[in-house]
A and B are shown apart, each in its own frame.
Chain A
């Protein structure tokens, strides 16, 4: 089965702790993305990567960090510097280039207590 997996589905952390969200794809896609979604709102871009070992900040990168050491993996770390980290986090991938839709994973719901 080809697709995008995110783990865990639900994650709870104490305030002040860093936490890393996993995203893996076996679609052989070059580009990967992280979005944040708050209740009743659309998706906001945190970081994106168009190729291995390269990534760019999105609209709301402050308090987050990423790495792209492998084509299939794009983990997101939510640091203690993120002021309001409780949200639904979505990972996506695409073939890159033009006119290629993004495919989404099932999401991770992070709750900071």
Chain B
């Protein structure tokens, strides 16, 4: 999984398998979290968000899980496709305003044929 300050971790999965990308966030007071996807040379794209009063939120093919006890966030991608290959970042609302996000260093997901 990713954490601020570490080199970019990588995850390789077979096409069609499920992917799980992990993130350890730093501030126990953070109350809003976002997952972004960034393709090479492009800006990040919003995937899904979750507020601290939730443990789980589902989108189209994606699920975010939040464990506040251990300050851990995960992104699950179902039936991973080649187009899912990208760097995935988690971001936390570090200062309690949702107007200032702190980003993790990202995880490189590679989908194998």
Give residues in A with beta carbon < 8 Å to B: 4, 6, 31, 35, 40-45, 48, 50, 58, 90, 92, 94, 96-107, 109
Closest to A31 in B: B99
Excluding A42-B89, A97-B98, A107-B43, 19 further A-B contacts by CB distance (< 8 Å) are: A4-B43, A35-B103, A40-B106, A41-B8, A42-B106, A43-B44, A43-B89, A45-B100, A58-B100, A97-B99, A98-B98, A99-B49, A99-B98, A100-B98, A101-B46, A104-B45, A105-B43, A106-B42, A107-B41
B111 CB, min distance to chain A CBs, angstroms: 19
Least CB separation from B105: chain A residue: A42
Q: Which residue of B lies closest to A35 (CB)?
A: B103
**Number of A-B pairs whose CB atoms are under 8 Å?**
62
- Docked-complex contact B49 and A101, CB < 8 angstroms: yes
Q: Cβ of A106 and Cβ of B43 under 8 Å apart?
A: yes
20 pairs, A vs B, C-beta closer than 8 Å: A4-B43, A31-B99, A35-B103, A40-B7, A42-B89, A43-B89, A45-B102, A58-B100, A90-B44, A94-B99, A96-B99, A97-B98, A98-B99, A101-B34, A101-B46, A103-B46, A104-B43, A106-B42, A106-B43, A107-B42
